[in-house]
Structure formats: C-alpha cells, structure tokens
Amino acid sequence: MADTQTERAYQKQPTIFQNKKRVLLGEGGKEKLPRYYKNIGLGFKTPKEVREGRADP
C-alpha cells in the first residue's frame, strides 16, 4: 500500500471474508469450514477448543 489514497473508500482487508459462503452439500454430508482465529502474541495462546470451533459462545 505504497500508493497514496486519493478516494475516501473502504480499504479491503485480505484476511476478512465479508460475503456468505455457499456450501454445496453432496453425498458426503456437511463439511465444516475452517475457523478463522488470530495469534495476538504477547504470550497469549488461543485455546484448542476455540481454534477447532468447539467452544460455547
């Protein structure tokens, strides 16, 4: 992003997907999509349950 921004527009972030994901179900059943999580650093670890999508909201 070395270019100078001339318009007041939303800059798209590459790690965030903002649309619905259409999952086509076949004979194999429902597949889980990979869960997005972020390493925040500072010695904090993301729990395994959260990374795998098994945590309660």
Backbone angles phi, psi at 48, to 5 degrees: -60, -35
- Give the mean model confidence (pLDDT) for residues 29-53: 79
> Which amino acid belongs to residue 23?
V
DSSP state letter for 53: T
- Give the mean model confidence (pLDDT) for residues 41-55: 82
Round to whole Å and give the CA distance between 49 and 52: 5
* Structure confidence at residue 30 (pLDDT): 59
CA-to-CA dists, residue 49 to 35, 43, 45, 52, 53, angstroms: 11, 18, 12, 5, 6
